[in-house]
Amino acid sequence: MQQLSWYLSLILFTVSTCGSPGPNNLMVMSSGVNYGIRRSWSHVIGINVGFPLMVVAVGIGLGGVLHRFPVLLDLLRPLGVAYLLYLAYQIMSAPTDGGATTEAAAKARDRKPLTVLQAALFQMVNPKAWVMIVGALVTYGTGTDFLLAEILLIALIFFLFGTPCTIVWLWLGASLKKLLARPALQRGFNIAMAALLVLSVVPTIGEVYRSLR
């Protein structure tokens, strides 16, 4: 009974954190609007492969390395913020294709979503991913020295229950694409998503600022 409670608690944690707004979900929804479902599968796969792998890496020892050498985290944070701001700019400036000129439509067709590798590596600089992973390991681990089987189980649950959450956000974005057929509306959506992405890293920006003072 206690083990069942542990599973249910971890599953609820996974669904609530993976299903809530954050850099991954905002980006994949934007990808659904701009590229559609089929072209965005690489982004979805990258997120849901890269995140569990990061759970395993942190659980095995990466977290301990960062705790021992906090300067690495001080370097990782500004890199992550810079990359997220770059992605926000890319979303905001993405060309729209609904009813556009031939040249604009060609540019829209040439756009590419994140590859599997890019989306997987993005987890390393995603502030929400770090918070989720550390929170899961500390809360649902049996001690400070995590067992490999325990780490793999937590990673598996994130994969099994986090993937549908990402797909829902992708579907939501693809559904909005029909409502945003006019270029002006799609442009407005992209700007709004870029602004939300920037807001999602404001706490991390504050930490970077304090570390540089």
Q: Burial level of 127, CB count in 10 A (0-12/13-18/19+)?
A: buried
> Which tens digits make up the pLDDT trace of 40-54?
999 999 999 999 999
H-type alpha helices, 2-97: 2-19, 23-57, 63-68, 70-92
- Quote the pTM value: 0.75
pLDDT of residue 189: 80
- The residue assigned the tokens 């590419």 is 112
Residue 141 dihedral angles phi and psi, to the nearest 5°: -80, 160
Structure tokens at 206: 């504050």
Residue ranges of the chain whose pLDDT lies below 70: 1-2, 62-67, 69-74, 76-77, 80, 95-110, 142-146, 181, 200-201, 203-213
Q: What is the pLDDT of residue 96?
A: 65
